[in-house]
Amino acid sequence: MKKGRKITGGKYKKLRKKKKYELSRLPRIVKIGEIKKKSIGTRGGNSKTVLLRSNEINLINPKSHKAKKSKILNVIETPSNRFLARQNILTKGAIVDTEDGKARITNRPSQEGAVQGVIIE
């Protein structure tokens, strides 16, 4: 069947438009580059610091449990979408090449003000 249609062929009609609090924002794309952050207002008068560009990652070594700051060189692969790796976009689960070897991003950089990762062999 065609999407948005009943079994009889009639159309499903929306009951109402979305309300202001139901609207989504534009997607924030975090790329590799000199660190650039932005503060946006959130619900309840609070604010959130989001990342727009970054070339640093906070790495954790799972064996020694030590944290270290490293430089991001390149995005190797992104399991969710292979085209994101081609454009060097940082997302959760992306495998990046750093000065200390390969690492997997464990947080959502577009929602937070930093990039966190775990070293992989």
> What would the pLDDT profile of 102-121 be if each residue is shown by its tens digit?
999 999 999 889 999 999 97
R_g over Cα of the chain: 19
| Among the listed residues 103, 73, 113, 106, the one whose alpha carbon sits nearest the alpha carbon of residue 92 | 106
3.30.70.2860, 3.10.290.70, 3.40.50.300, 1.10.357.10: CATH of 29-119: 3.10.290.70
Whether 13 shows a pLDDT value over 80: the answer reads yes
Predicted pLDDT at 61: 92
